[in-house]
């Protein structure tokens, strides 16, 4: 069975097919109207515009065929779908537009030296040009709106061509009026100008299609945006190698995310799934995301340490994570140690869940490491779920000694939460009291 995402893609492509079909039919009717009026009322300029509309019909048919092929289901022969069929159609569109431009250049050059005259006011040719302008505007806006919504390059190209048709019809209208007013040479000049614009559009469209087929990254803004969004995910330390491929109206993203070296394989897969689902949910034109997770080899690490007092690098570790009066955030590398900030523990007067509140407050500081002597279960899991590595240290150690021990690999990671000795003894006494009380109740 197809996934919901694939079904949505096909629905988007079907919407594009409908507008391409409607556009082809309307342009066909419009071309017949201009051809009939042009021949009937001896307006070569309107006849030429009718031939131009005929070429637009071919362009819309190419767009329709491309979108139709792109909406086909994946198969064993085409496991990635036929999305690039739309790009091939777009390439054909560009070539056709370029040929139209070349043909119009030749026609314009000939008409530049041809004197035409019109004795009667060309009411019907003028009316046909006005109708052409209005229909071209409606089609262009509709094609551009749907093209942007579904990410269809073919529809966006035909929308551009439709906007050019508006100017073409306007210039044709001007040319008809100028011929009636005995203003010569302007007819050929207008055709040359339009032909140049159309030729430019055709070349740009064909070139862009070729670049897409060669897997060129055509959307640098999206690349930067994806990097920023992935870097905001907790646990992602860095993002590298973001590659974006265009496949028809959709995009395929490959990238590398870096995370803590101690992260388990299960958590690495979980992190990759979070990143993938986020991109697929936020960008409807992204077909698939391939993420590779690598351990980060950071030059600078950020650690947080619960301390007894504020004495810089000589500050000593506090025995209990949640009850520490201060926390030091320190950044260090192979040859340098910098104290980033001191944080006062504002949760000491709370009755419960002090450690959890402290853990929540330090997570936003993008911490990599926690040096601690004892930590409770809730706080421990809160920090580990946010990809912070917890290391066991002795209470008599100073901040400087802790970092030196970490660099020399003499510290061991805490793999499960522990209680302080004082709490352990308290719990043990409570248990003994309950047991003693139970024994006293026996003789009763």
Q: Which residues, including other chains, have CB under 8 Å from residue 64's CB and lie 6 or more apart?
A: 17, 20, 21, 24
Closest-CA residue to 270 (of 282, 283, 257, 284): 257
Asked whether residue 437 is domain-assigned, the answer is no
Q: What is the pLDDT of residue 70?
A: 67
The residue assigned the tokens 């979070």 is 274
| pLDDT tens profile 199-226 | 887 888 889 888 888 888 777 888 889 9
Are 307 and 328 in contact by the 8 Å Cβ rule? The answer is yes
Asked whether residue 432 is domain-assigned, the answer is no
365 and 278 part of one domain: no
For residues 255 and 238, what is the distance between their CA atoms, to the nearest angstrom?
11
273 and 384 part of one domain: no
Collapsing DSSP to helix, strand or coil, 250 comes out as: strand
Are 240 and 256 in contact by the 8 Å Cβ rule? The answer is yes
Q: Which phi and psi (to 5°) does residue 289 adopt?
A: -130, 130
Quote the DSSP letter at residue 395. T
For residues 414 and 398, what is the distance between their CA atoms, to the nearest angstrom?
19
Between residues 351 and 71, the one the model is more confident about:
351
The residue assigned the tokens 């003028």 is 126
Please state the rounded mean pLDDT for residues 384-410: 88
Collapsing DSSP to helix, strand or coil, 285 comes out as: coil
> For the chain, what's the residue count?
444
Distance of CA 43 to the CA centre of its chain: 50
Collapsing DSSP to helix, strand or coil, 234 comes out as: coil
245 and 346 part of one domain: no
208 and 247 part of one domain: no
Q: pTM higher than 0.75 for the full model?
A: no
Q: Which residues, including other chains, have CB under 8 Å from residue 192's CB and lie 6 or more apart?
A: 104, 105, 108, 109, 112
268 and 171 part of one domain: no
For residues 14 and 22, what is the distance between their CA atoms, to the nearest angstrom?
12
User: How does strand 389-392 pair with strand 369-372?
Assistant: parallel
Asked whether residue 388 is domain-assigned, the answer is yes
| pLDDT tens profile 18-64 | 777 777 788 788 888 888 887 787 776 777 777 777 767 766 676 67
The CATH number given to whatever domain includes residue 68 is: 1.20.1510.10
377 lies in which domain range? 301-425
Domain count for the chain, please give it. 3
288 and 177 part of one domain: no
Q: How confident is the model at residue 120 (pLDDT cuts 50, 70, 90)?
A: low
Residue 75 CA: distances (Å) to CA of 79, 286, 407 = 5, 20, 53
Q: Which phi and psi (to 5°) does residue 19 adopt?
A: -70, -35
What angle (nearest 5°) sits at the alpha carbon of residue 242, between those of residues 279 and 13? 50
């Amino acid at each position: 069975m197809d996934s919901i995402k694939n079904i949505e893609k096909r629905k988007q492509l079907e919407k594009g097919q409908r507008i391409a079909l409607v556009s082809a039919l309307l342009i066909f009717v419009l071309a017949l109207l201009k051809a009939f009026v042009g021949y009937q009322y001896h307006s070569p300029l309107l006849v030429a515009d009718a031939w131009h509309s005929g070429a637009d019909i071919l362009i819309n048919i190419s767009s329709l065929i491309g979108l139709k092929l792109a909406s086909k289901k994946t198969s064993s022969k085409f496991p990635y779908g036929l999305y690039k069929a739309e790009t091939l159609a777009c390439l054909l569109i560009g070539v056709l537009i370029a040929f139209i431009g070349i043909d119009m250049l030749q026609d314009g050059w000939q008409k530049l030296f041809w004197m035409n005259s019109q004795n009667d006011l060309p009411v019907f040719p003028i009316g046909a040009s006005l109708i052409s302008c209005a229909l071209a505007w409606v089609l262009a806006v509709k094609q551009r709106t749907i093209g942007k919504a579904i990410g269809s390059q073919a529809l966006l190209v035909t929308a551009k061509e439709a906007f050019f048709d508006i100017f073409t019809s306007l210039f044709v209208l001007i040319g008809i009026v100028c011929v009636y007013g005995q203003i010569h040479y302007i007819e050929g000049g207008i055709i040359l100008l339009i032909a140049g614009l159309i030729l430019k559009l055709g070349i740009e469209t064909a070139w862009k299609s070729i670049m897409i087929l060669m897997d060129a990254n055509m959307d640098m803004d999206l690349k930067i945006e994806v990097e920023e969004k992935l870097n905001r995910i907790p646990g992602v330390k860095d993002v590298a190698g973001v590659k974006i491929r265009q496949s028809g109206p959709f995009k395929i993203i490959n990238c590398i995310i870096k995370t803590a070296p101690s992260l388990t394989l299960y958590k690495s897969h979980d992190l990759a799934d979070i990143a993938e689902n986020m991109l697929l949910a936020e960008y409807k034109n992204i077909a698939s995301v391939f993420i590779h997770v690598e351990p980060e080899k950071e030059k600078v690490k950020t650690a947080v340490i619960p301390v007894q007092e504020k004495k810089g690098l000589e500050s000593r570790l506090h025995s209990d994570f949640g009850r520490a009066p201060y926390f030091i955030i320190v950044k260090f590398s192979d040859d340098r140690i910098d104290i980033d900030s001191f944080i006062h523990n504002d949760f000491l007067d709370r009755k419960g869940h002090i450690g959890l509140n402290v853990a929540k407050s330090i997570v936003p500081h993008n911490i990599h490491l926690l040096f601690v002597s004892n930590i409770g279960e809730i706080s421990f899991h809160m920090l580990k779920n946010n990809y912070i590595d917890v290391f066991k240290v002795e209470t008599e150690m100073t901040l400087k000694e802790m970092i030196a021990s970490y660099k020399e690999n003499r510290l061991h990671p805490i793999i499960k939460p522990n209680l302080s000795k004082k709490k352990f003894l308290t719990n043990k006494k409570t248990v003994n009291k309950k047991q003693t009380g139970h024994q006293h109740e026996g003789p009763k």
